[in-house]
């Protein structure tokens, strides 16, 4: 499948995890790939790919949908129009790597986070983890699955996408029965810093998905594919 991308890490052996990164408006996959380089040493068996938006934006940037004239009323429509392509790209890399959704993480910033979060509504279970830096839902979900663990990480002083959107997302996912955490990075604007990265790394390594607890309470046990989930 042809699309703009940058491979941050490709293990010599078959990949055991898949980490896909999605940048913000006007950025590019090479730049976002620098964020991916923080994950590579801790996940040496992961295929890590930074994916570019489908539309050009500015001299060297990309975007998933235009923000010109975007409103609360038309944002969802713009996302819905491009979402099938987003989902196809995720599934392309899952097929390319041989990694299932159970060991796939979507890592987004700003518009990349919007697309990642919205994918949980359009294709539940597309990935087992979402690291959502400084983003939001277009419209809050009314249903959710514990198949995907959502980690919201947001700057306390974000003036582009207000922290209130992350708080509302957490509340909506909890209300809908989803699996979600929220970390607020004090005095940080619309950006990713070393504190944000540390929150993300800690969640991928140490946070146990809620569905494991659900399975334990029901008397079930993880399947073979679950063993390679990002823990």
Question: Is pLDDT at 225 greater than 50 in this prediction?
Answer: no
Q: What is the pLDDT of residue 215?
A: 59
Exposure of 229 in the CB half-sphere (CA atoms within 13 A): 25
Closest CA to 177 of 123, 141, 224: 141
pLDDT, tens digit (0-9, with 9 covering 90-100), for 94-135: 999 999 999 999 999 999 999 999 999 999 999 999 999 999
- What's the mean per-residue pLDDT of the chain? 92
Question: Of 225 and 166, which is predicted with more confidence?
Answer: 166
Q: What predicted TM-score, i.e. pTM, was given to this entire model? A: 0.92
Contacts of 92 (CB under 8 A, 6+ apart): 1, 3
The maximal CA–CA distance of the chain, rounded, in angstroms, is 55
Q: List, by residue number, the catalytic residues.
A: 110, 158, 190
Burial-class residue 59 by CB neighbours within 10 Å (0-12, 13-18, 19+): exposed
CB 180, CB 169: distance < 8 Å: yes
pLDDT confidence band for 178 (50 / 70 / 90): very high
């Amino acid at each position: 499948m042809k699309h703009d991308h940058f491979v941050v890490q490709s293990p010599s052996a078959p990949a055991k995890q898949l980490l896909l990164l999605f940048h913000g408006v006007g950025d590019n996959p090479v730049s976002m790939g620098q964020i991916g380089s923080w994950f590579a040493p801790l996940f040496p068996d992961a295929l890590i790919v930074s994916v570019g938006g489908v539309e050009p934006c500015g001299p060297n940037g990309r975007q998933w949908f235009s923000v010109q004239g975007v409103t609360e009323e038309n944002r969802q429509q713009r996302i819905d129009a491009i979402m099938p392509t987003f989902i196809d790209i995720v599934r392309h890399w899952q097929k390319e790597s041989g990694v299932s959704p159970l060991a796939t993480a979507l890592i987004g910033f700003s518009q990349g986070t919007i697309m990642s979060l919205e994918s949980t509504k359009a294709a539940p279970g597309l990935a087992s983890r979402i690291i959502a830096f400084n983003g939001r839902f277009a419209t809050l979900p009314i249903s959710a699955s514990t198949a995907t663990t959502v980690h919201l990480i947001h700057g306390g002083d974000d003036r582009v996408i207000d922290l209130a959107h992350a708080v509302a997302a957490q509340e909506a996912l909890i209300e809908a029965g989803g699996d979600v955490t929220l970390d607020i990075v004090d005095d940080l604007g619309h950006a990713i810093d070393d504190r944000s990265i540390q929150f993300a790394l800690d969640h991928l390594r140490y946070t146990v998905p809620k569905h494991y607890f659900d399975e334990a309470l029901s008397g079930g046990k993880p399947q073979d594919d679950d063993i390679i989930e990002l823990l």
